[in-house]
């Protein structure tokens, strides 16, 4: 209620061009016609106690805001609990250095509770992904290729709906978000697109302690609770945004009052921008369509049938000073930067780099004259993609599919090498401990389902890391990226007794885990379940399966998890994949975790799970004649007659 995600939705709808407004109105009319005329309502209506209620166009716009929350909030929430420490300025500087030190996708200077809240926000936000494009110079087909795999919470129904849409003004196939009328990841006859969250600095926390009380407004919000008493909350709004410090779940200093300045509270029309992308025929039309796109901030990748590729920084940002902020909460004077908002027209972009490819994995953006962001993903995924793509003189669509399943982690290997190099010099290890150390040493760095070394390494780190390093330091570095990269360089200089203690505990932990879990897939699991599985008592009804999975937190095949020596489930990571070869309108492959039907336990609710887990996919043609010849099932919609 405090975030007020739909603050500008009515304003944006009122300002839409008549053609775009008519398009959105027609979509909403279709949703409402189905809802009001359907004989059977989805299971969620019974579970959540919902009634039939018509949708409004502004609510569609608010759905877009819900899926576009700022991933910086997730880092803030984890860091704010440390602001009372006397060494906070030094810790904050270290976190900023770590968060902004990852490798850029391209460089234009060259030619080419709190945990519960965090889980909720990370599940609904588009805060991860890989996207990579290859030009005609490396495909040899005369056209470009593109691959995309969004990273989100692992839940059924999947966030995505796979659809093909043909109308007089566009012909597209790809992933849509149910309830939003455009293809977010896919292609048309001329171009293809995908994106990764750029983790740009789209928000500021502003100290408003000096703002007069009469400048702060209040409103009362009703809170309906299923199976319990309804309640009300009072929300305060300042000239600088909602008073976020009123949220009891957030750590704050004594007497501190701060507001949230978020670009999502500024009017922007992402629906019209994406309609333009769906219709675009070339790079110039693609670029111009996205000038109005603000959130969620995306590194959009582009490929076309003429063989071109590109990358665009698509967001709106305040004109901040390039200097790093001194604290999570900024002084009131810093709000001045929001008087001038920059768009993609003046932010970094790349077109046809000499390398012949572009890759993005939530890593640091290209340098700019304003800060793009402060907390980016570690280098592992983008450097691995760049290495795999540069190693091939010719790239095929099958190569791109294999890359999406790659489970190598360079930061894990760096930490493994540091521990093994020093550990092998330790004479007083037991045979069991030596065997565990050698299992780590022989590991190829791939978190494959059948890997024994991945079990040894992860279980060893579960005990080694908190023994060798300060727990708060681990949490701080984890908020900014992955601690392995930075801390691997410190292993050799650890105090001898501390290293011995950490090593023996780590190797004992590895040995125990290897006895219980012969392979990574025995230890690393994915629960095929609905979000409602978290509901007490009835939640077990929504767990459909539990399967072995590969990957880890910083592998291209992303399946995030905590560092643990126990069997665990991944709850966030890759949950859909797309590859397109633009030399052929029908050469498009898609797959999702789940199925193309959100109706619980229907025949197509989770029929794609086996293909998704094995790296398979389904060919989805763009030519309408191929669709008619390929797909046997057809539903024909006809206008309702007066008698009906």
Q: Which residue is listed with tokens 């023994």?
A: 467
Instruction: Report in angstroms the alpha-carbon separations of 117 from 2, 79, 178, 384, 607.
Output: 13, 14, 24, 32, 31
Task: Count other Cβ atoms within 10 Å, centred on residue 229.
Answer: 7
Q: How many CA atoms lie within 13 A of 235 on its CB side?
A: 16
Predicted pLDDT at 73: 86
Phi, psi of 571 (to 5 degrees): -120, 5
Burial bucket for residue 199 (CB in 10 Å: 0-12, 13-18, 19+)? buried
Q: What residues contact residue 137 under an 8 Å CB cut-off, 6+ apart?
A: 307, 356
pLDDT band of residue 531 (cuts 50, 70, 90) is confident
In this predicted structure, the answer to whether residue 538 has a pLDDT above a threshold of 90 is no
Q: Which two tokens stand for residue 13?
A: 């709808």
Strands 203-207 and 329-330: parallel
For residues 502 and 467, is the Cβ–Cβ distance under 8 A? yes
Predicted pLDDT at 480: 61
Task: Count other Cβ atoms within 10 Å, centred on residue 349.
Answer: 21
Predicted pLDDT at 196: 93
Residue 480 to residue 623: CA distance in whole angstroms: 45
Residue 154 to residue 544: CA distance in whole angstroms: 13
- Dihedral, CA of residue 524, residue 526, residue 532 and residue 534, to nearest 10: -10
Region of residue 197 (phi > 0: left; psi between -120 and 50: alpha; otherwise: beta)? beta
List pLDDT tens digits, range 409-433. Answer: 999 999 999 999 999 988 889 999 9
For residues 183 and 172, is the Cβ–Cβ distance under 8 A? yes
In this predicted structure, the answer to whether residue 225 has a pLDDT above a threshold of 90 is no
Buried b (16+ CB within 10 A) or exposed e, 354-365: ebbbbbbbbbbb
Predicted pLDDT at 103: 57
Reduce the DSSP state of residue 560 to 3 states and report it.
strand
In this predicted structure, the answer to whether residue 274 has a pLDDT above a threshold of 90 is yes
List pLDDT tens digits, range 290-327. Answer: 999 999 899 999 999 999 999 999 999 999 999 999 99
What's the pTM value of the predicted model, to 2 decimals? 0.92
Taking residues 543-567, what's their average pLDDT?
95
Nearest CA to 394 out of 137, 138, 132 is that of 138
List pLDDT tens digits, range 157-179. Answer: 999 999 999 999 899 999 999 88
| Range of lowest pLDDT (71-75, 573-577, 619-623) | 71-75
Residue 628 to residue 347: CA distance in whole angstroms: 43
Task: Count other Cβ atoms within 10 Å, centred on residue 88.
Answer: 14
- Distinct helix (H) and strand (E) counts, the chain: 21, 27
Q: How many CA atoms lie within 13 A of 292 on its CB side?
A: 17
- State the sign of the Cα–Cα–Cα–Cα dihedral 258, 263, 264, 266: positive
Phi, psi of 263 (to 5 degrees): -65, -25
What is the distance between the terminal CA atoms of the chain, rounded to a whole angstrom?
41
Taking residues 527-532, what's their average pLDDT?
92
Please confirm whether the linkage preceding 157 is cis (ω < 30° from 0).
yes
SS3 per-residue string spanning 419-438: HHHHHCCCCCCCHHHHHHHH
Nearest CA to 328 out of 205, 470, 209, 452 is that of 205
DSSP string, 255-289: T--EEEEEGGGS---HHHHHHHHHH--SHHHHHHH
- What is the edge-to-edge ordering of all strands in the sheet holding 203-207? 258-262, 203-207, 329-330
Instruction: Report in angstroms the alpha-carbon separations of 443 from 56, 420, 520, 557.
Output: 55, 11, 12, 18
Phi, psi of 245 (to 5 degrees): -65, -15
| Residue 132 parent element (H or E) | strand 130-134
Residue 481 to residue 99: CA distance in whole angstroms: 6
Taking residues 138-156, what's their average pLDDT?
95
Q: Which two tokens stand for residue 154?
A: 């692992």
Predicted pLDDT at 640: 66
For residues 414 and 457, is the Cβ–Cβ distance under 8 A? no
Over the Cα atoms of the chain, what is R_g? 25
List pLDDT tens digits, range 47-81. Answer: 888 899 999 999 999 988 887 778 888 888 888 88
List pLDDT tens digits, range 446-456. Answer: 999 999 999 99
DSSP string, 61-80: HHHHHHTT--THHHHHHHHG
Q: Which residue is listed with tokens 């910086």?
A: 72
Q: What residues contact residue 469 under an 8 Å CB cut-off, 6+ apart?
A: 483, 487, 490
In terms of residues, how long is the chain?
A: 644
CA 486 to mean position of chain CA atoms = 23
């Amino acid at each position: 209620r405090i975030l007020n995600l739909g603050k500008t939705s009515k304003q944006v709808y009122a300002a839409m061009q008549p053609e775009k407004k008519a398009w959105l109105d027609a979509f909403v009319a279709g949703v409402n016609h189905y809802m009001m005329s359907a004989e059977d309502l989805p299971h969620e209506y019974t579970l959540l106690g919902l009634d039939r209620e018509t949708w409004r166009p502004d609510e569609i716009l608010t759905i877009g805001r819900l899926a576009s929350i700022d991933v910086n909030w997730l880092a803030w929430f984890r860091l704010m609990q440390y602001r009372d420490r006397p060494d906070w300025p030094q810790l904050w500087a270290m976190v900023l250095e770590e968060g902004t030190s990852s490798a850029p996708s391209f460089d234009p200077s060259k030619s080419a509770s709190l945990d519960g809240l965090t889980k909720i926000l990370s599940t609904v936000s588009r805060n991860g992904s890989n996207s990579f494009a290859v030009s005609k110079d490396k495909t040899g087909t005369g056209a470009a290729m593109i691959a995309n795999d969004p990273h989100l919470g692992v839940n059924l129904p999947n966030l995505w709906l796979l659809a093909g849409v043909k109308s007089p003004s566009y012909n597209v196939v790809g992933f849509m978000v149910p309830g939003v009328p455009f293809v977010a990841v896919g292609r048309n006859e001329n171009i293809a697109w995908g994106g990764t969250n750029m983790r740009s600095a789209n928000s500021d926390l502003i100290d408003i302690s000096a703002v007069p009380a009469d400048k702060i407004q209040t409103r009362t919000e009703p809170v309906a609770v299923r199976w319990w008493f309804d309640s009300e909350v009072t929300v305060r709004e300042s000239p600088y945004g909602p008073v976020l410090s009123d949220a009891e779940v957030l750590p704050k200093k004594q007497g501190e009052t701060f507001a949230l300045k978020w670009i999502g509270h500024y009017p922007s029309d992402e629906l019209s921008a994406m309609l333009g992308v769906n219709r675009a025929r070339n790079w110039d039309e693609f670029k111009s369509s996205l000038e109005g796109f603000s959130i969620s901030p995306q590194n959009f990748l582009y490929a076309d049938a003429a063989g071109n590729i590109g990358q665009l920084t698509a967001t709106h940002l305040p004109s901040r000073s390039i200097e790093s902020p001194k604290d999570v909460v900024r002084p009131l004077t810093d709000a001045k930067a929001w008087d001038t908002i920059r768009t993609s027209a003046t932010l970094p972009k790349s077109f046809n780099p000499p390398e012949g490819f572009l890759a993005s994995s939530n890593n640091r953006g290209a340098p700019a004259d304003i800060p793009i962001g402060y907390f980016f993903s570690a280098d592992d995924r983008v450097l691995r993609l760049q290495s795999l793509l540069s190693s091939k003189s010719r790239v095929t669509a099958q190569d791109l599919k294999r890359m999406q399943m790659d489970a190598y982690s360079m930061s894990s290997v760096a930490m493994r090498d540091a521990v093994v190099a020093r550990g092998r010099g330790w004479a007083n290890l037991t045979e069991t401990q030596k065997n565990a150390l050698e299992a780590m040493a022989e590991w190829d760095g791939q978190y494959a389902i059948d890997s024994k070394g991945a079990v040894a390494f992860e279980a060893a780190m579960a005990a080694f890391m908190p023994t060798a390093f300060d727990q708060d330091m681990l949490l701080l570095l984890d908020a900014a990226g992955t601690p392995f990269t930075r801390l691997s360089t410190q292993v050799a200089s650890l105090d001898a007794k501390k290293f011995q203690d950490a090593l023996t505990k780590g190797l004992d932990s590895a040995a125990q885990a290897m006895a219980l879990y012969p392979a990574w897939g025995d230890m690393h699991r994915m629960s095929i379940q609905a979000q409602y599985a978290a509901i007490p008592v009835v939640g077990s009804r929504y767990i459909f399966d539990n399967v072995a999975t590969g990957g880890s937190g910083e592998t291209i095949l992303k399946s995030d998890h905590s560092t643990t020596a126990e069997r665990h489930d991944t709850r966030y990571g890759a949950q859909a994949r797309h590859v397109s070869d633009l030399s052929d309108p029908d050469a498009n492959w898609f797959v999702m975790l789940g199925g193309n039907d959100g109706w619980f336990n229907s025949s197509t609710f989770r029929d794609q799970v086996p293909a998704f887990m094995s790296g398979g996919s389904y060919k989805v043609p763009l030519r309408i004649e191929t669709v008619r010849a390929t797909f046997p099932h057809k539903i024909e919609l006809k206008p309702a007659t007066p008698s009906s």
